[in-house]
Amino acid sequence: MFGNMLQLSCSVKKPTISQNVMGGQDKSWSNRIDSVKCAFRELSANELIKFGKQTGESGYRFYFEAISADKDIILMDRITYNGRTFEVNSIYNVSGKDRLLQIDCTEIA
């Protein structure tokens, strides 16, 4: 349905938390979804205003066609695109029928 809009490809990474020898936690990232079709754009200054205040962050938005339930994207995930890594801040079901997901992110690396 949204195939013409979703021309790019990115990957979704999930965190894996393990205990290190000192008793602390180490976080590593592995593929949740490899090479999924998406659309990507930088958010405008007006779109970055939250609760009436400018956030001071650069924001980005990804769009995905809904993926199977066993590969859901969650807030703890990261998205990699074109050598860049983004932290997921919010996930919005645009159509209300699990057809198109809008994911707002901030770049971390």
CB 78, CB 12: distance < 8 Å? yes
CB 60, CB 86: distance < 8 Å? yes
Alpha-carbon distance 47 to 44, whole Å?
5
User: From residue 88, how far is each of 24, 30, 39, 62, 76 by CA, in Å?
Assistant: 24, 15, 15, 10, 7
- Is 0.85 surpassed by the pTM of this model? no
Cα first-last separation, the chain: 32
- The pLDDT value recorded for residue 20 is 87
pLDDT, one tens digit for every residue, the chain (109 residues) = 455 678 899 999 999 988 888 888 888 999 988 888 899 998 876 655 554 555 556 689 999 887 655 567 889 999 999 999 999 988 888 766 667 888 989 898 6
| Residue in the block written with tokens 């930088």 | 42
8-107 homologous superfamily: Bacteriophage SPP1 head-tail adaptor protein (2.40.10.270)
